[in-house]
C-alpha cells in the first residue's frame, strides 16, 4: 500500500502559520515513517493580506469551524490564538468530527484543556500542543513521553522570551523598564499591548500546562499565582546584582503534601546559575524527578522557525504514532487540581526599603522584623543617586509568606519609611 497523504487544514496564517506552510511546501514527506503532509485548506482574518508564501492554490475558508469540519481535511491545525472565540469553537468542532488537532494555543489548553482532552479521547483522536510551551524546545514531549517512567516533583524555568529580553537588557544597559519595553516592541519581541507577556499571564498559561502534564491533574489556570515584571525597578536590578543575583521571571510548579503550587514571579536567581545565565529571548526549564534527578533544557521559545518546527513535529506524531492520553492519563482519571494557598508558602525573600536618611531607621526596621519572627540573612545599605531616599536591602532566611506579609505591613507604617517595601522572592532552584 502506498504511503498515505494527510490533508492538513490550517487556521491562522501569522508568523507561525506562514512558517508551517513554507516548511510543508518544501518538505511534504518530512515525517519519519513516510507519508505526505499537504495543506489543502486555510483560514485567517484577512484573505488579501500580503504573505511571503502563495496560498492561491489552497482552498480558502472564511469560517474556521467550516475548515475544521471540512471533509477535505484529515487533520486540523489551530494557530489563531485566544482561549475562547473562533479558536475554541474550531478545535471543539474538529474533535467532535473525529479529526486530530494540533495547536500552539497555550491559553486554550491552560483554560480548557481538560474538557478538550475529554472530547479528543471520546473521539479516539490526538490533541497535541508541543508548540504551546517553549516554542521549538520540546518541553511538552519531555513531560508527556520521556518522563512517564518517573515521578515528577517540580518544574521551574523561564517561559517567556519577551520578559527575559527586557530584564536582560535592563541589567546590561542600565535602561528603564519603559525604555527597554519600547525597544522590544520595535524589534517585534513584544506586542503593541504587552500585558499578556509583561503581566506574567503568558508564562502562567505555559506552566499551568506543564503542571498538568507533570502531575496528572486537570489544568487550572485560575489557581495560578501570577505577578509580572511591570513593577520591576532598575534600582532592584542593580541592588540584586550587588548581592550576587539576577532578576528573572520564574514560572514554577511544585507538588507538595498540600497540593500543587503553580506560580509566576520575578525572582532573584544566583549569578552563575543556568537560569541567571539565560539571556535575551531564550527559554529554559528544569524538570526534577525522583529517579532521574534534574534535567535542564534551553532553547528558543518563539519565532516562525522554532514554533513551526514544533507544530510539524506534532503533525508527524499524528501521522506515525498511536494515540495516547492528552495529559499522561485518561481525561476521566485526571486528578483535581488542589492549589496551595500562597500564604502557606515558605521561602527566602528580598526586601527593599526606601527610607529617610536619619538615625535609628535600621534599628526600627530590625526590631519590627524580629517581633514578627523574620530572620535576616544579609543586609545592604548603599546610597543610590536619584533614588528619592536611602535604599536598604534585606534578604531573609526561609519564612512563611503570611509572616513576611505581616512584617511588610508593619514596616510600611514606620515614620521613616517612604513607601511600601518591595518584595521579591529568592528562587529555590
- Which of the residues 106, 206, 241, 382 is marked catalytic? 206
Phi-psi region of 421 (alpha: psi -120 to 50; beta: other; left: phi over 0): beta
Cα 225 off chain centre by:
13
Residue 206 is among the residues annotated as catalytic for this protein: yes
Q: How far apart are CA 410 and CA 369, in angstroms?
A: 9
Active site residues: 206
Amino acid at each position: 500500500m502506498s504511503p498515505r497523504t494527510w490533508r492538513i487544514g490550517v487556521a491562522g496564517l501569522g508568523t507561525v502559520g506562514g512558517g508551517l506552510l513554507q516548511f510543508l511546501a518544501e518538505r511534504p514527506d518530512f515525517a519519519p515513517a513516510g507519508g505526505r503532509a499537504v495543506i489543502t485548506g486555510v483560514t485567517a482574518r484577512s484573505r488579501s493580506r500580503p504573505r511571503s508564501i502563495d496560498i492561491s492554490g489552497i482552498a480558502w475558508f472564511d469560517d474556521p469551524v467550516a475548515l475544521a469540519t471540512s471533509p477535505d481535511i484529515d487533520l486540523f491545525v489551530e494557530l489563531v490564538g485566544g482561549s475562547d472565540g473562533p479558536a475554541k469553537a474550531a478545535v471543539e468542532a474538529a474533535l467532535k468530527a473525529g479529526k486530530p488537532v494540533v495547536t500552539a494555543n497555550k491559553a486554550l489548553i491552560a483554560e480548557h484543556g481538560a474538557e478538550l482532552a475529554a472530547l479528543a479521547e471520546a473521539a479516539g483522536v490526538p490533541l497535541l500542543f508541543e508548540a504551546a510551551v517553549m516554542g521549538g524546545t520540546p518541553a511538552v514531549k519531555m513531560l508527556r513521553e520521556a518522563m512517564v517512567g518517573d515521578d515528577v516533583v517540580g518544574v521551574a524555568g523561564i517561559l517567556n522570551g519577551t520578559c527575559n529580553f527586557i530584564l536582560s537588557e535592563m541589567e546590561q544597559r542600565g535602561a528603564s523598564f519603559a525604555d527597554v519595553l519600547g525597544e522590544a516592541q520595535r524589534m517585534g519581541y513584544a506586542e503593541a499591548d504587552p500585558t499578556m507577556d509583561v503581566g506574567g499571564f503568558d508564562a502562567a498559561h505555559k506552566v499551568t500546562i506543564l503542571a498538568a502534564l507533570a502531575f496528572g491533574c486537570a489544568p487550572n489556570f485560575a489557581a495560578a499565582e501570577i505577578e509580572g515584571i511591570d513593577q520591576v525597578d532598575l534600582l532592584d536590578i542593580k541592588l540584586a546584582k550587588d548581592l550576587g543575583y539576577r532578576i528573572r521571571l520564574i514560572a514554577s510548579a511544585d507538588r507538595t503534601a498540600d497540593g500543587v503550587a503553580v506560580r509566576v514571579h520575578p525572582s532573584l536567581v544566583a549569578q552563575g546559575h543556568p537560569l541567571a545565565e539565560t539571556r535575551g529571548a531564550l527559554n529554559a526549564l528544569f524538570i526534577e524527578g525522583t529517579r532521574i534527578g534534574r534535567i535542564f533544557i534551553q532553547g528558543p521559545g518563539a519565532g516562525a522557525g522554532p514554533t513551526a518546527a514544533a507544530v510539524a513535529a506534532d503533525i508527524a506524531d499524528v501521522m506515525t504514532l498511536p494515540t495516547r492520553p492528552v495529559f499522561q492519563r485518561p481525561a476521566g482519571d485526571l486528578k483535581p487540581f488542589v492549589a496551595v494557598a500562597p500564604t502557606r508558602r515558605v521561602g527566602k525573600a528580598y526586601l527593599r526599603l526606601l527610607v529617610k536618611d536619619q538615625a535609628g531607621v535600621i534599628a526600627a526596621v530590625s526590631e519590627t522584623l524580629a517581633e514578627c519572627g523574620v530572620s535576616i540573612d544579609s543586609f545592604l545599605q548603599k546610597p543610590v543617586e536619584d533614588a528619592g531616599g536611602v535604599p536598604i536591602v534585606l534578604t531573609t532566611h526561609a519564612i512563611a509568606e503570611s509572616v513576611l506579609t505581616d512584617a511588610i505591613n508593619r514596616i510600611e507604617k514606620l515614620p521613616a519609611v517612604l513607601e511600601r517595601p518591595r518584595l521579591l522572592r529568592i528562587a529555590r532552584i
